[in-house]
Amino acid sequence: LHTADIANPMKPWDLCEFLADRCLEEFFAQGDQEKALGIPVQMLNDRDKVNRPNSQVGFIEFVISPLAEKMVIILPELGYSALNV
């Protein structure tokens, strides 16, 4: 279930980009509210400081890739070789 929630980088590019933009906009909206309230803005929520491409690369490298690797170990039929490509 958690994998479904964060799997946008494993989707086709158009959908991946759309979902990533929506997610970042949600974070930024929270950051905007934090700024308006005068409270510290969380690191990923500051639209003036976040580098969108780098944030996605980091998310893929440190969250998605290890998760996908473990998924294929548990369910080998999800692996690339199972696609007969």
**For the segment 7-55, what is each residue's pLDDT rounded down to a tens digit?**
888 889 999 999 999 999 999 999 999 999 999 999 889 999 999 999 9
Range of the domain at 61: 1-82
The full DSSP string for 14-83 is HHHHHHHHHHHHHHHHHHHHHHHHT-PPPGGG-TTT--HHHHHHHHIIIIIHHHHHHHHHH-GGGSGGGG
The pTM assigned to this predicted structure is 0.73
Tokens of 59: 């998310």
Total domains, the chain: 1
5 is in an annotated binding site: yes
